Structure 1
């Protein structure tokens, strides 16, 4: 084992990671991120909206305007939707399952892992790059983003091209006037792609990194290395054509909504109730960076001990200004600070590689031990999540949930082992145990928590009905976007039971009303005495609103819809 670990830290032919080290880093990331990609149903609300909007692009052939049903979705640029359109083609296009829509996030997370490992190796050593890549590949927040059909993992991949290029230009390129078609072009192409995916969010991180580094070095000539004029033209060429087209098509409606609400609206007010105190992201680090959050103390010690080194200074100006911005804005979600995770991962790698020298006294060991203890507590909870969920919902605890708990216990044991002697060998043991947790939890246990997926289960029930080739579906009391993705674009998300009853009366042959008990009285009143048949009943849980559901499936008495004979 010692010989294998030593071989991973040997430099490759170009001075970076060796082939064996690359295989280990990427294999761990793939095995950690893939399970559940296709088995976890569409999640509410954002994921279902993104995936459905991409599906409607394919249904309508309009790849400029972004819509969820008939409503404009002018909160993010088109980049992520186009990527989802591309990845769904081998899986049926507009009939593709949710997993196909998640592939841009899956590949984006792998690219971010690879670029983090590359940068760590180039700035410091193959050992640092190896650890940094493993840390990024195993982070709990990245597990969520890699499996979610949204912008953030793809954004991180695009933004990382810009950050890596910036690091190479600021730290490694000795020529004061590098050729544009090299790292400067990579910098601006990454910036343009990031803006095309989610607007200027990652560009803010890159700009603050550049400004902070130039100010720290007191050298304005560093700005010339990024080739601002041709670079800006390249970035504009990537995102501007669609931006012009959508604003012409919507009479500047996209700009008003995207900038006024989706960007500036989140700064002063907690958008969609996603608020949090100052320090929110910092307090969540033991969770978002788990299991490597056990090594955050080493990252801090390494940053302090080597704060005079230019490469460390670059990482610090990458992390600190943007982290402060995200702590100050009112709207907060755990993934907002993910653009800084690669820099933190590299510092963790630097800390682990130099752990023996850094942990030289009781103060250093105390800092390291307290933070490691937090990660150990988080590990115990991570393994119990599916088990707790099934108990909370009154479901039998599945074998997969029990296995997840066992894997979680092994991960905790390996973390304790790592805390006593932080080194690469023990980190690899933690990695294997953590990957085992993710494989069982995301691949089997979480999809198996039946009540978490009411719209998916409702659609599967509706598929069993006979008598109609196409159903006319309306819901009441459960209006989440996943209903649209799981049923069809024209499903009616009824405002109340009366509206759903009116819809059912207007579709006498193949109408299907799915009514939660909270809207039962309004639905019955809206029927005006018309007779209906109950076809099925489903217990579920609306995770967005945090309440139990009892969904009943109704059709008119004389409709063609039938329950198949048992």
Structure 2
């Protein structure tokens, strides 16, 4: 009970105390709110006319559903991630109970209090949902392999887990599958007929969305395979530590710091791993230590893939923290180490909660709630749209202002240079000026350094740009109106006009 209460506290304390951080949190929530407001749950969109195809829809569906139930606020947007964190803790408990009976309490506590799993549980991304569904699939496989009853039912659950993972992040969601194939070929031979039906079940759950959007958007299949799979794995197109040494820059610190305060036990396991591998060359030893072998393969095989891929980010290895937590628990039992004293655990939990609360006080230009406050202070009319002119787009404002967010370019992009999917800009300046003139309530943002150029370009199109208040985060917040002046308008008396 105390462990369950601790996990609930870690998951939900201060969940909505800070605003969404751009770009990642804002981008995912923006698409989810657009789905919720438009009623179009099939096509992810970053704005009314531009799709967002970098990820499958399950994360957006989860966020939109939560916001639909709990309202448009940051806490509601983070509920699916917090629930995924709790699910991973429970699955760690269940897996440890099956693979190393007696270590389940330690393993669950280790997972809940490791720095990376805890920190990731406060960020709106696809990674925690992916980790939860992958772990669900592996747990179902372990129950089918080591459990005494109903292996076919567990294998059904395994394929469901993989289907949900595939709907969360595409092919990376299947990364644990080779681990299961390498570890135990016998169960696949014994249930070959059912595995064929399992693949059919997987296809029935995972593929209909892909088929629907590919049929409706010619060329999308090539984009999914080319840009979102091949280019992410084989090139540094997305600027994610693609250098030959990038894996060391990303994953060594992530594993060393992300496993705190349990890094010592993990290091001792890794130091003894070469000896374990030599012993596992003996079939009898391998059978006797099949759980240790399975956990090692579960960590090492995906980690090798992550290192070889040229797209590398810390949260990619989040699904590996369940086997790492179980290995820590086994290592501590091997060394006859009991759980840390309650006082020590209370102090560490307090540190984690302090870090979470500290993020609410940390001043950062990425906090969309601060941008929302700055815009509300300057705007007179209700804001229905925020337009960023060749600048970082603060998509978190979609939730905090309940306004559409767009990024525009100064000049029209030639047709042959336009990206078919996920273009850099939604529209060009001239088109957006005409639209904004017809719908009051549009707020514009540009870099302060580019203000003279942009205001002059706006004037050249027959409009004037009126700054609202002082610059904010080295940006000018402004509105526009026709150069002749709209009937009845008095720019000089606008709130905050300079």
Task: Calculate the TM-score normalised by the size of structure 1.
Answer: 0.73
Equivalent of residue 458 in structure 1, options 368, 371, 387: 371
List per-residue Cα deviations over 1:435-463 (Å, max 9, x = no partner): 212222223x2122233345432221322
Structure 2: distance between partners of 1:83 and 1:117: 24
Equivalent of residue 261 in structure 1, options 227, 252, 258: 227
Q: Which residue of 1 aligns with 2:415?
A: none
Structure 1: distance between partners of 2:252 and 2:85: 22
Structure 1: distance between partners of 2:335 and 2:69: 47
Counterparts of residues 535-554 of structure 1 (less than 5 Å)? 535-540=468-473, 549-553=474-478
Give the SS at the match of 1:330: coil
Indicate conservation of the 8 Å contact 2:57/2:167, yes or no: yes
Correspondence 1:245 to 2:245: no
List per-residue Cα deviations over 1:28-63 (Å, max 9, x = no partner): 222223234212222222322211111111222111
Indicate conservation of the 8 Å contact 2:21/2:396, yes or no: no
Correspondence 1:318 to 2:285: no
Q: Which residue of 2 aligns with 1:363?
A: none
Q: Which residue of 2 aligns with 1:546?
A: none
Measured after TM superposition, the shift of residue 560 of structure 1 is 9.7
Gaps of 5+ in 1: 1-22, 357-421, 541-548
Equivalent of residue 87 in structure 2, options 111, 114, 121: 111
Equivalent of residue 230 in structure 1, options 197, 221, 234: 197
Correspondence 1:423 to 2:350: no
Indicate conservation of the 8 Å contact 1:537/1:553, yes or no: no
Indicate conservation of the 8 Å contact 1:270/1:332, yes or no: no
Q: Which residue of 1 aligns with 2:127?
A: 152
Correspondence 1:74 to 2:78: no
Structure 2: distance between partners of 1:531 and 1:209: 61
List per-residue Cα deviations over 1:341-399 (Å, max 9, x = no partner): 1111101000112224xxxxxxxxxxxxxxxxxxxxxxxxxxxxxxxxxxxxxxxxxxx
Residues 561 and 166 of structure 1, relative CA distance in 2, 3 Å threshold:
farther
Measured after TM superposition, the shift of residue 489 of structure 1 is 5.1
Structure 2: distance between partners of 1:102 and 1:271: 29
Measured after TM superposition, the shift of residue 497 of structure 1 is 11
Q: Which residue of 1 aligns with 2:136?
A: 161
Measured after TM superposition, the shift of residue 324 of structure 1 is 0.6
List per-residue Cα deviations over 1:77-131 (Å, max 9, x = no partner): 2211211222112223xxx1232122111101110111001111222123x1112
Task: Calculate the TM-score normalised by the size of structure 2.
Answer: 0.82
Q: Which residue of 2 aligns with 1:330?
A: 310
Indicate conservation of the 8 Å contact 1:115/1:160, yes or no: yes
Give the SS at the match of 1:494: strand
Residues 46 and 184 of structure 1, relative CA distance in 2, 3 Å threshold:
same
List per-residue Cα deviations over 1:258-302 (Å, max 9, x = no partner): 222112211111242111524342343112222222321233367
Range that drifts further, 341-350 or 523-532: 523-532
The total of aligned residue pairs comes to 454
Correspondence 1:86 to 2:65: yes
Q: Which residue of 2 aligns with 1:62?
A: 40
Measured after TM superposition, the shift of residue 500 of structure 1 is 6.1
Indicate conservation of the 8 Å contact 2:369/2:397, yes or no: no
Indicate conservation of the 8 Å contact 2:465/2:480, yes or no: yes
Indicate conservation of the 8 Å contact 2:455/2:465, yes or no: no
Range that drifts further, 302-311 or 344-353: 302-311
Give the SS at the match of 2:42: coil
Structure 2: distance between partners of 1:42 and 1:526: 32
Q: Which residue of 1 aligns with 2:347?
A: 433
Measured after TM superposition, the shift of residue 339 of structure 1 is 1.8
List per-residue Cα deviations over 1:296-351 (Å, max 9, x = no partner): 12333675568630111111121111111111111100111122211111010001
Counterparts of residues 259-338 of structure 1 (less than 5 Å)? 259-276=225-242, 277=245, 278-279=247-248, 280-300=250-270, 304=275, 308=285, 309-338=289-318
List per-residue Cα deviations over 1:128-176 (Å, max 9, x = no partner): 1112111211222223321222211111111111111212223x2357x
Residues 551 and 132 of structure 1, relative CA distance in 2, 3 Å threshold:
farther
Indicate conservation of the 8 Å contact 1:466/1:561, yes or no: no
Range that drifts further, 277-286 or 107-116: 277-286
Q: Which residue of 2 aligns with 1:355?
A: 335
- Structure with greater contact order relative to length (CA < 8 Å, sep ≥ 6): 2
Indicate conservation of the 8 Å contact 2:233/2:309, yes or no: yes
Structure 1: distance between partners of 2:394 and 2:125: 14
Correspondence 1:515 to 2:428: no
Indicate conservation of the 8 Å contact 1:287/1:293, yes or no: yes
Residues 432 and 270 of structure 1, relative CA distance in 2, 3 Å threshold:
farther
